[in-house]
Structure 1
C-alpha cells in the first residue's frame, strides 16, 4: 500500500496544487457507465475491446476501492450532491418506493432542492456546464438537469430506454422522455443509438461553447451512458465482432478475468475470492441455452465496445479544441453488474417488460428485443467480489473507476484506498480552488457535503481518504453495510449482520461475527447512528432483489 501511495503521489505531486495557483483552472469531465462490471474493460481484466478507456485509465490512476450506492439513481444523487443518497432524496429509487417510505423525507425519488448540485456550484464559480445522457433524478421541469445547473443539456429523464430510441414520448408516463435545454422532445432521430448520440451531443456542446462567448471559461461536463444497462441492444456489426467469444461459458470467463486482474496488479492473488453461485452451472445448460446465453454476452460486449468508441470521440474533440491537457477525467460505473434475468424474474413490473418483444435468437440485440444476461455473466463481471447490483456487498458497490487527465502522467498507478462517489464534489471543488459551501448556497441552507477530497491522498500528504474511525454507511432496498477502517458489516437484506475484515478479505468470504462480538456490536452501533443521522427507512416490502 505504501509503495502504491508513493507512486500515486509521484503522479500528481506539484500538478494538483497548481490547479488552484494558475489562472487557468482545470476542466472536469465525469463519465458514468450504467451497470458496467468491475472487470469488464481491458485495464481492469476484461477481454472486451476498450482501447480508449484503457488508455485513459493507464495514463492516470486506477481505483480498486471506489464505492457507489447499490443502484443507479442513488449513486447519481451522491455524485452530484456530495452527500448521502438518503439526504439527497434518493433513499430509494422513484420506481421502487415501499409503502412505508412514501412521502417520507429523503425518499422523494428525485434530487431534492435542498442540495446544491455540482453543476450549480461550478456554474456559480465561472464554469460552463454541459450534460448529455441519462438523468434519472426527476422528470418534472424543475427537476430537469437544465434546472439543476447544467447550462447546456440533452437528457433522458428516466432510468432506462430502448437504446435505438423506440418508444420515445414527451409524456414520461407513456415512454422514454428526452429533453434539450429543459424542453421536452417528441422523439429522437431515426439513426439514434444511445451511446453514439449521447457522445455526439456532448461533442457538440464542447465545440459550440468553446467557439462561443463562454470559450474562455473552464467547463464541467457530465456524460452519462445508459449502456450496458438492459435491454441488451447494439448495432449488428458490433455484435458480430464478438461472435463465438463466449462459447466456453461464464465460469471460464470469470477465471480468465481473475487471472488477468492478478497479472495487472489489481488484486492480491494471495487473498481469497468469493465463490460464485449459479442457479444453473454452464455444464447443466442445453446446447440451445448455451447458444442463447453466449449470444447475450456477445451483445453486452458490443454495448461496452460501442461505449468505448463513443468516449474516444469525446477525447478527440477535447484534443481538437485544445482542452484535453487541461481536463481532469473521472470514469465510473454507477453500481455493480446487473444480475437480473428478465425472462425468469417474478418481480412485478420487471416480469412484463419483454411481453411485446421479439426475443428470438435472430432478433436478440435488435431494437425489437428486450433481454438481460443474468447472474452467470454478472458474477464474471463483479469478480472477485460477492454478489452484484442491488446489494450493499462489495460486488454491488465496489466499481470500476479511474481518474486521468491534467498533470497525471508517467509513472502510472493503482490506488487501493476506500473512496466514495460522494467524494467527487469536494475533490473537484478543491482542485478548482472553490471553498466548501458548508451548508449554505445562494443564501439558503443546503445539505452539507459529506464526501472527502482526494487531493491529500493523491498528493501523498495522507495515506488514506477515510480515517480508521470514520464510519461510512450505505442502504438500499433493505440491504445495508457500514465500513469503518478495515472492517465492514454487511446485511444482504435478510436482517442478518455479517462481519468482514476487508483488508484481509476484500471479497467478503469469511464471516467473523461469531468470533468478534465486541467489534460487531461496535459497528452495529455505528450503523444505528448513521441510519438515524441520514434518515434511513427500511422498506416493509422487498421490491428489488435479483
Structure 2
C-alpha cells in the first residue's frame, strides 16, 4: 500500500463548541466537510496550554516528560520545565524524515526557549532543528495578523505585502503550505509528505478582514446564554454530546446577558462578531489547502487531522479588550479604551481579544477554559479525514484519547516503527498509543485507562471512566484569581470526583460519596506526577525560578547597534525596564533630517525615538494610549551625540531627550515599562521601522538618510541584571 501523506492542522484557542460540526452556528463549512467525510472524536484531550500540547503532539510523550510543562517564555531549571525538548524525544517529523517523508511546517511554533528565538539562534529547537525540512511562520506565542514577525527556515524575513495591499497572515501561511506541497509533488511525487499546519487563529490578536466581519453584524445580539442553549441542542442532534448529558451551569463570574447595559451588550457582541469572522476566514484558508489536495488527486491518500491546542481563551476579561496588552496593566483604563473604540474594534489599531463569557459558551457544555484542567481546558475537537483509511464517514468516536496518541497513530498508519535510536541518540519510550484501529471500528477499546493533567497548579487525573480535579486557581492572571472561586493553596485544594461515563460534561461532584476512590486516585496523580517530571509544582506565571541562560545568550548591560535591516530580539538587548540610556551618534546634514533612530513595537504598544524636520521626538505607546514629546529646537548640523533616557520615578518613569546646549525635554508616563513591548514582535530596530508605526507622526520604514545615523549605544540602568522581573508575563499568551 502507498504510504499516506499526513496533514496535521492545529488551531489555537478554539473551544469544543466553536466549530459547526461540534454544534456552533459560526460558519465553518470546510472543516465541517472534513468531519462529514471523516470522523469526530468527542473525548479527545490536550494539555490546556499551547507549548505543552504542541510538544506532546510532536513527540508522542507527556509534555512534562519532554521539558515542556509550561510555556517556552518562562524556562526554569526544573527538568519538567526547561522548555527544551531533548534529543531523546525524537519528533514525529524527524522520524518520518528518516523514513523517507518530506516534512514541512507552516505557522506558529512556540517550542524554543525565549532567548533562542533571535536571529542568531541557536536553531536546534527551531523547526528545521527538530525534523522539518522547510518552515514558514512565526516562532513566538502570537503575532499580529496584519504585520507579523516572520521566519523562513532559519532566517527572519519581511512580510510579502502590506496591510493596505490586503495582507493577512492566515492567507500567507496557506499560500506557503500549498507551495511546499506543490514543490514536493511536482519534483519528487513518489515521496509522501508530512505537513504541520499550525494556524495563527484563533489566538489573539483577533483580527479579521473587514468584509468577513460585516457578515456577522448583529449575529450575537441574543447574548451568550441563548447562544449556549442553542449549541447544546445542536450538539445532541449532531451526536457529539450524548442526548442525556447535562451542560455545566453558567458560572458566577459570567453575568447573565439580561443584566448587561445596552453599551455592554454592543461591545461584547461586537467582540464576538470579530471572533466569528476570524474563525470563518480561517476555515476558508483551510478550505483552500484541502481544495489543493483534492484538485491534485492527493486527498484520498492523505490523513488530515484537525485539533485545537487547548480550550477557549479567557484572556479578554469579562468585557473583552480593544487592546489586551493593557488588560492586566490597568483594568479600568482598558475598559474605558475598549468602550471608546467600539467602531474601531476591527480596525488596524486594534489588538483585540473577545469577552470571556463567549469563551465560556465556546466550550459548551464544559466548565472553564484554557490554563485549567477542567474539561473546558483539556477537551477539544479532533477530526480525522482519510478516505482510504476511515470506515463509515460522519461517525463520532467516543474513546478517551490524548494528544500524545497522534504520533503513534501516524507512525502506525505510515508503517514506520518507533525507532530505538534516532540520530545516534537512544530514544525514550512513547506515552501515547495508536488509535488507528478506531478509524475503522467504532467499538475498539480506548488506547489508555489513565492520564494525568497539570497546568499552572490546576491538576486532574482520568482513570477508567472516573476523573478527579482540583479547584486550584493560581496567583495570576489576577483577573481570574479575583473573580473565579477556588483554592489558592495546594494544601487547601478540594479534589472533586466525576464519573465521566455517566456525567459527560463533568457536572456532578461525587467526592463526598466515594472518599476512598478519591484518596486512591489522588495517590495515582502523585505517582504519575513523579514519573513524568511534574514536580515541583509551581502555579505562578511570575516568580518561577529563573534558568541561567547559556553563555552568549545573557542580556548585556551595554551594547552598540548599527543601522540596517533586521532587529535585535527583546530577549537579547539590554534590559530597559530598570531605566536606560540610548546614545545616538549622528552626522547631521545642513538640511533638517527625518527618520527613525530606534524603535520597538508599534501603535498597539511601542516606543519610538525619531527625527522629524530636525527635531527629536520620543513616542511611548502603552497598550494603545500614546504619549509623545519633541525637542524645542532642531539639531544643529555636524557631528552630534544625542540621548534618550528613561528614569524610574514613583508610579512610573520619565523619558528625556538630551541634545548639546539645550535643556532636556521630559515626558512623564505613569506605570512601568512593559517587559515585552510586543509578544512575538520583531524587537529593537535601528535606523528604520516596519509594520505599523508607534504613532501617526511617521510612516514606516521612515529610514534615516544614509550616513546620518552612525550607531546607537544602549545602556541598561540595571547594570549586571541578566533577567528582568517577569511581572508582565502574567499576560504571556499561549
Q: TM-score, normalised by structure 1?
A: 0.88
- Superposition pairs of residues 182-331 of structure 1, within 5 angstroms: 182-190=154-162, 191-212=166-187, 214-277=188-251, 278-331=253-306
**Are 1:261 and 1:267, in contact at CA under 8 Å, matched by a contact in 2?**
yes
The structure where helix makes up a greater share of residues is 1
Change in Cα spacing, 1:516 to 1:348, as seen in structure 2 (3 Å) is farther
2:411 is the alignment partner of 1:429: yes
Cα distance in 2 for residues equivalent to 1:282 and 1:489: 32
Q: TM-score, normalised by structure 2?
A: 0.66
Structure 1 gaps, min length 5: 1-21, 169-176
- Superposition pairs of residues 362-381 of structure 1, within 5 angstroms: 362-381=343-362
In the TM superposition, residue 27 of structure 1 has moved relative to its aligned partner by: 0.5
In the TM superposition, residue 352 of structure 1 has moved relative to its aligned partner by: 4.3
In the TM superposition, residue 416 of structure 1 has moved relative to its aligned partner by: 0.7
Match of 2:395 among 413, 436, 446: 413
In the TM superposition, residue 443 of structure 1 has moved relative to its aligned partner by: 2.1
Q: Which has the higher contact order (CA 8 A, sep 6+)?
A: 1
- Determine the structure 2 residue equivalent to 1:481: 460
- Determine the structure 1 residue equivalent to 2:132: 150
- 1:131-150 per-residue CA deviation (whole Å, 9 max, x = no partner) reads 10000101242211111111
In the TM superposition, residue 216 of structure 1 has moved relative to its aligned partner by: 1.5
Change in Cα spacing, 1:202 to 1:338, as seen in structure 2 (3 Å) is same
**Aligned with 2:344: secondary structure?**
coil
- 1:484-523 per-residue CA deviation (whole Å, 9 max, x = no partner) reads 1100111132322111101111211111111111111111
- Superposition pairs of residues 15-414 of structure 1, within 5 angstroms: 22=1, 24-96=2-74, 102-138=76-112, 139=117, 140=121, 141-165=123-147, 168=148, 177-190=149-162, 191-212=166-187, 214-277=188-251, 278-341=253-316, 351-352=328-329, 359=338, 360-407=341-388, 408=390, 410-414=392-396
Cα distance in 1 for residues equivalent to 2:391 and 2:539: 50
2:432 is the alignment partner of 1:451: yes
- Determine the structure 1 residue equivalent to 2:494: 496
**Are 1:328 and 1:403, in contact at CA under 8 Å, matched by a contact in 2?**
yes
The structure where strand makes up a greater share of residues is 2
In the TM superposition, residue 244 of structure 1 has moved relative to its aligned partner by: 0.5
**Are 2:37 and 2:387, in contact at CA under 8 Å, matched by a contact in 1?**
no
Cα distance in 2 for residues equivalent to 1:188 and 1:90: 33
Cα distance in 2 for residues equivalent to 1:520 and 1:477: 21
**Are 1:243 and 1:298, in contact at CA under 8 Å, matched by a contact in 2?**
yes
Cα distance in 2 for residues equivalent to 1:391 and 1:257: 22
- 1:96-120 per-residue CA deviation (whole Å, 9 max, x = no partner) reads 55xxxx2111212243333211100
Cα distance in 2 for residues equivalent to 1:451 and 1:411: 25
In the TM superposition, residue 327 of structure 1 has moved relative to its aligned partner by: 0.3
Cα distance in 2 for residues equivalent to 1:93 and 1:109: 7
Cα distance in 2 for residues equivalent to 1:415 and 1:34: 22
Change in Cα spacing, 1:344 to 1:315, as seen in structure 2 (3 Å) is closer
Cα distance in 1 for residues equivalent to 2:111 and 2:456: 18
In the TM superposition, residue 303 of structure 1 has moved relative to its aligned partner by: 0.7
Match of 1:519 among 496, 517, 520: 517
In the TM superposition, residue 351 of structure 1 has moved relative to its aligned partner by: 2.0
**Aligned with 1:142: secondary structure?**
coil
- 1:237-286 per-residue CA deviation (whole Å, 9 max, x = no partner) reads 00000000000111111001011001111112322211121442211211
In the TM superposition, residue 533 of structure 1 has moved relative to its aligned partner by: 0.3
- 1:455-482 per-residue CA deviation (whole Å, 9 max, x = no partner) reads 2333439622234xx3211111000111
In the TM superposition, residue 293 of structure 1 has moved relative to its aligned partner by: 0.7
Cα distance in 1 for residues equivalent to 2:172 and 2:52: 24
- 1:277-302 per-residue CA deviation (whole Å, 9 max, x = no partner) reads 14422112111111111110000000
In the TM superposition, residue 336 of structure 1 has moved relative to its aligned partner by: 0.5
- Specify the structure having the higher radius of gyration (Cα): 2
- 1:377-426 per-residue CA deviation (whole Å, 9 max, x = no partner) reads 01111011111111001111110111012323644310011010101100
Q: Which moved more, 1:114-123 or 1:453-462?
A: 453-462
How many aligned positions are there?
505
Cα distance in 2 for residues equivalent to 1:326 and 1:406: 7
Q: Which moved more, 1:324-333 or 1:179-188?
A: 179-188
In the TM superposition, residue 129 of structure 1 has moved relative to its aligned partner by: 0.6
**Are 2:272 and 2:355, in contact at CA under 8 Å, matched by a contact in 1?**
no
Cα distance in 2 for residues equivalent to 1:183 and 1:348: 27
Q: Which moved more, 1:283-292 or 1:423-432?
A: 283-292
Cα distance in 2 for residues equivalent to 1:164 and 1:385: 33
**Are 2:15 and 2:380, in contact at CA under 8 Å, matched by a contact in 1?**
yes
- 1:155-198 per-residue CA deviation (whole Å, 9 max, x = no partner) reads 21001111112xx5xxxxxxxx4211221224453143122111
Cα distance in 2 for residues equivalent to 1:144 and 1:215: 27
**Aligned with 2:384: secondary structure?**
strand
Cα distance in 1 for residues equivalent to 2:196 and 2:98: 17
Cα distance in 2 for residues equivalent to 1:155 and 1:265: 36
In the TM superposition, residue 367 of structure 1 has moved relative to its aligned partner by: 2.8
Change in Cα spacing, 1:527 to 1:286, as seen in structure 2 (3 Å) is same
**Are 1:453 and 1:465, in contact at CA under 8 Å, matched by a contact in 2?**
no
Cα distance in 2 for residues equivalent to 1:402 and 1:540: 32
In the TM superposition, residue 349 of structure 1 has moved relative to its aligned partner by: 8.0
